[in-house]
A and B are shown apart, each in its own frame.
Chain A
Amino acid sequence: MMDLTNITKSYEMGNQVVHALRGVNMHVDEGEYVAIMGPSGSGKSTLMNIIGCLDVPTAGTYMLDGIDVSDMSDNDQARIRNQRIGFVFQQFNLLPRTSALKQVSLPLMYAGVPRSERNARAKESLTIVGLGDRTHHKPDELSGGQQQRVAVARALAVNPNIILADEPTGALDTKTGEELMEIFDQLHDDGITIVMITHDREVAERARRIVTLRDGLIVSDEQINHQKEVAS
């Protein structure tokens, strides 16, 4: 479903050019669970932002379901972000002073879901991440783990078929990180495509495939066989 061909991304910083991606080729099938690893500055976030239509590559083509994203208008890209993709950021990126229920119903509002239905679905999403009893809490009234779960609930609200997560456990302790990973496992079982950046090898091994970046290039791409691990 995702086809990246020769993707490059460079930033001009004054008279200096930073090459964040130097020609990435990658294919992700529907339902895959991919972890992206690599040292800091290797271009992981840059790649994910391009996959999520939050940013555009300098060169190369990105086909999503056979359609070239660079051919799409801003509004079309916004609709894709809205309906097909759910984002989970390391820094949560919740709206300040806004209740969990409102945060989660926001993408539904932009999707044009009527108000009455919105609240029910937002509540449902929050229940899935275990926050059914925290609907009226604002970000500063929630722990980091709870905030990240609100962000996941928000990502799930429109029933996207892709979840993109940039170090979702980065700001969480081991235990809450583990809880989040269980939710991701569940989403994977439900057939949702997941691409997740992580520094943590243990977290990465929850995925079925680990792609490693270094200096803007993919240096390894390995499949993980969970059946084998369970057996041994």
Chain B
Amino acid sequence: MNLTESFLTALDSLRANTLRSVLTMLGVIIGVGAVIGLVSIGNGVQQSVTADFEALGSNLLTIFTDRDNSGGYPSLTLGDVDALADPLNAPSISEVAASINRQQLVTWGNGEYNTSIVGVTANYLVVNNLTEFLAGDGLYQPDIDTAARVAVIGQEVATELFGEEFPVGQEIKIGDINYEVIGVLEEQGQAPGSNPDETVYIPITTAQQRLGVERTRRGEKAVDTITAVAASDEVIDAATEELTEVLRERHDIIFADEDDFRILSNASILDTIGNVLGLLTVFLGAIAGISLVVGGIGIMNIMLVSVTERTREIGIRKAIGALKRDILTQFLLESIVLSLVGGGIGIGLGYLISYLAEQFGDIPTFVSPQSIGLATGISITIGIVFGIFPAWRAASLRPIEALRYE
């Protein structure tokens, strides 16, 4: 019997037993679909969070006061910012920005909105990629130098306070002080650690004057955060060293003492987050793997359950002249067809799960070729092994034993 005949026989047999075929396929479909779908969610979340951080710039270094080592005083000042911005001191650093962060009530007319007010240096918005405006413009050095009472607001702040009104040129109140709105940022979306849409940006000097300022141990006006940009990804480590050196010297920290500041690099945060998210993907993959096992057991069950009927069928086929090889080829082809078709539909189901998660669950997804390969590979293997094993057993019986099988 040639392969075409075997194939047509397999198809005949599958068609004659539609219910059994569908049930077997269902196992493969669920197994493959679940794995692809779940892994796509894990991968998607990982990629999207990673991309968020990369958009922030992986060469950003953020410096905070370490109050445990500064006697409880803040330690960073605008003087530090100027020193770091000097290429003679820190050649690996290309930009340095500083900010002060407060939570305050912002009002306009009858509207009020409690949100974060961030006092910033002129380059802060650029360093943080906040360069697209719905209206107006950003902050410039003269605004800082003159401690101007101007504000750039996030898109959400604008809608909350102004609704349909045009914000630029209007005066908003923070505390008792009026500020002129000079720019509205485009919608940015949640970024790790901050939400620009819900933020009001004012000159850092104004913030130091108007929002109340902390002082360092020496009585200088302090800033909360310094953001330094390494000249490239390759010099992040060098930049970190230069930063440490300059700041230790300026803060008069002697040899044995600890730094009174801490440096966080986006690159290292990215690493940590990557690890956590990788774990998430593994976890989802494990759940998916379990569905694969369940699906596999389903395939196995239906194959084994149909064994009585099929053993008799094999007995009949052998009695009328089928060779063992004919039987094995037929069953192998049946299993392959079921597994492949089931696998194909399962891949479709996986894409559907991923699509639905994205559309209705607002979860980013990414279908990876590896998950497709793994899921389909395993299901097909299970389908074929458990499709052919009972057949092989039955085909090895004498015809009369197979015919008698109950």
Q: Which A residues lie at the B interface, using CB under 8 A?
A: 49, 52, 54-56, 74-75, 78-79, 81-83, 87, 89, 93-98, 102, 106-107, 109-112, 115, 154, 158
Contacts and interface: CB of A to CB of B under 8 A. Distances in A.
B308 to A, nearest CB: 11
B313 interface: yes
Contact of B319 (A56, A83, A93, A115): A93
Interface stretch (B137-145, B196-204, B386-394, B398-406): B398-406
B258 interface: no
B398 A112 contact: no
Nearest to B9: A109
A171 to B, nearest CB: 16
Interface in B300-359: 309, 312-313, 315-326
Contacts of B324: 74-75, 78
Nearest to B19: A97
B233 interface: no
A78 B322 CA distance: 6
Interface of B: 1, 5, 9, 12, 16-17, 309, 312-313, 315-326, 398-400, 403
A106 B312 contact: no
B321 A78 contact: yes
Residue from B312, B317, B400 with most neighbouring chain A CB atoms (10 Å): B400
Given A81-B321, A109-B5, A95 B313 contact: yes
A102 B12 contact: yes
24 contacts: A49-B400, A54-B399, A75-B324, A78-B324, A81-B319, A81-B321, A82-B320, A82-B321, A87-B319, A87-B320, A89-B403, A93-B315, A96-B16, A96-B309, A97-B17, A98-B16, A102-B12, A107-B321, A110-B317, A110-B320, A110-B322, A110-B326, A154-B320, A158-B321
B17 to A, nearest CB: 6
Contacts of B16: 95-98
B398 A106 contact: no
A112 B313 CA distance: 20
B403 A112 contact: no
A106 B320 contact: yes
A150 to B, nearest CB: 12
B153 to A, nearest CB: 73
B309 to A, nearest CB: 7
A77 B149 CA distance: 103
Residue from B312, B315, B323 with most neighbouring chain A CB atoms (10 Å): B323
B398 A55 contact: yes
A5 B309 CA distance: 36
A82 B309 CA distance: 22
Contacts of B319: 52, 54, 81, 87, 93
B316 A93 contact: yes
A93 B317 contact: no
A111 B321 contact: yes
A74 B324 CA distance: 8
B311 to A, nearest CB: 12
Contacts of A102: 12
A74 B401 CA distance: 14
Contacts of A96: 16-17, 309, 313
B10 to A, nearest CB: 12
Nearest to B322: A110
A95 B320 CA distance: 12
Contacts of A79: 321
Contacts of A115: 5
Contacts of B323: 74-75, 78, 110
A106 B12 CA distance: 11
Nearest to B326: A110
Given A54-B398, A78-B321, A93-B312, 7 more contacts: A79-B321, A81-B399, A82-B322, A87-B319, A107-B320, A110-B321, A158-B321
Contacts of A55: 398-400
A79 B321 CA distance: 6
Contacts of B318: 78, 81
A154 B317 CA distance: 12
Nearest to B396: A74
A188 B370 CA distance: 66
Contacts of B325: 75
B247 to A, nearest CB: 83
Contacts of A98: 12, 16
